[in-house]
Amino acid sequence: MADPASYRPQTGEIPTNPGVYRFRDPHGRVIYVGKAKNLRSRLNSYFANPAGLLPKTYAMVHTASNVEWTVVGSELESLQLEYTWIKEFKPRFNVMFRDDKSYPYLAVSLGEKFPRVQVLRGERRKGTRYFGPYTAGAIRDTMDTLLRVFPVRSCSAGVLKRAEASGRPCLLGYIDKCAAPCVGRISAEDHRALAEDFCTFMGGEAKPFVTRLEKDMAAAVAELDYERAARIRDDIVALKKVFERNAVVLAEGTDADVFALHEDELEAAVQVFHVRGGRIRGQRGWVVEKVEDTTTPDLVEHLLQQVYGEEVGLQGRLPREVLVPVEPSNDAELAQWLSGLRGARVDIRVPRRGDKATLLSTVRDNAEHALKLHKSRRAGDLTMRSQALQELQEALELPVALLRIECFDISHVQGTNVVGSMVVVEDGLPKKSDYRKFSVTGAAATDDTAAMHDVLTRRFRNYLQEQAVQADAARQPGHQAMLTAAADAAVAGPPSAAADNLRADTTTPAPRAKFAYPPNLVVVDGGKPQVNAAARALAELGIDDVYVVGLAKRLEEVWLPDSDFPVILPRASAGLYLLQRIRDEAHRFAISFHRQKRGKAMTVSALDGVPGLGDSKRKALLAEFGSVKSIRAATAEELTGAKGIGPSLAAAIVRHFSDDANTATVPAINMTTGEVLET
Euclidean distance between CA atoms 97 and 138, whole angstroms: 14
Instruction: List pLDDT tens digits, range 69-93.
Output: 999 887 778 877 887 888 888 899 9
Q: Decide which of 175 and 367 is more confident.
A: 367
Whether residue 394 is predicted with pLDDT greater than 90 in this model: the reply is no
Task: Note the pLDDT of residue 536.
Answer: 92
Of 178, 212, 242, which residue constitutes the final position of a domain? 242
Give a yes or no: residue 140 inside a domain: yes
Do 143 and 53 sit in the same domain of this protein? Answer: no
Whether residue 496 is predicted with pLDDT greater than 50 in this model: the reply is no
Whether residue 508 is predicted with pLDDT greater than 60 in this model: the reply is no
Q: Report CA Rg, the chain.
A: 35
Whether residue 145 is predicted with pLDDT greater than 50 in this model: the reply is yes
Do 18 and 142 sit in the same domain of this protein? Answer: no
Please enumerate in sequence order all residues whose Cβ is within 8 A of that of 575, keeping only pairs 6 or more positions apart, or say none.
Answer: 388, 389, 390, 391, 392, 395, 569
> Is the Cβ–Cβ distance between 106 and 119 less than 8 Å?
yes
Euclidean distance between CA atoms 139 and 145, whole angstroms: 10
Contacts 24+ apart (CB under 8 A), 629-638: 629/679, 631/607, 631/657, 632/606, 632/657
Q: pLDDT-derived band of residue 620, with 50, 70 and 90 as boundaries?
A: confident
Q: pLDDT-derived band of residue 513, with 50, 70 and 90 as boundaries?
A: low
Residue 290 belongs to domain with CATH number: 3.30.420
Task: Note the pLDDT of residue 217.
Answer: 92
Task: Note the pLDDT of residue 316.
Answer: 58
Residue 74 belongs to domain with CATH number: 3.40.1440.10
Strands 117-120 and 66-71: unpaired
Q: Where are the alpha helices (DSSP H) in 447-560?
A: 448-474, 479-492, 497-506, 528-540
Give a yes or no: residue 276 inside a domain: yes
Do 444 and 571 sit in the same domain of this protein? Answer: yes
Q: How many folded domains does the chain comprise?
A: 5
Find how far residue 601's CA is from the centre of its chain.
27
> Is the Cβ–Cβ distance between 290 and 571 less than 8 Å?
yes
Euclidean distance between CA atoms 310 and 316, whole angstroms: 16
Q: What is the mean pLDDT of residues 206-210?
A: 77
Give a yes or no: residue 373 inside a domain: yes
Task: Note the pLDDT of residue 26.
Answer: 92
Task: Note the pLDDT of residue 505.
Answer: 43
Euclidean distance between CA atoms 236 and 242, whole angstroms: 10
Q: What is the mean pLDDT of residues 487-515?
A: 47
Could you tell me the CA-to-CA distances from 606 to 108, 375, 518, 619, 658 in Å, in that order?
65, 48, 44, 13, 12
Whether residue 250 is predicted with pLDDT greater than 80 in this model: the reply is no
Euclidean distance between CA atoms 646 and 639, whole angstroms: 8
Least confident of 261-270, 397-406, 582-591: 261-270
Do 426 and 478 sit in the same domain of this protein? Answer: yes
pTM: 0.58
Phi/psi at 445 (nearest 5 deg)?
-90, 10
Give a yes or no: residue 103 inside a domain: no
Range of the domain at 210: 109-242
> Is the Cβ–Cβ distance between 640 and 646 less than 8 Å?
yes
Q: pLDDT-derived band of residue 143, with 50, 70 and 90 as boundaries?
A: confident
Q: What is the mean pLDDT of residues 340-349?
A: 89
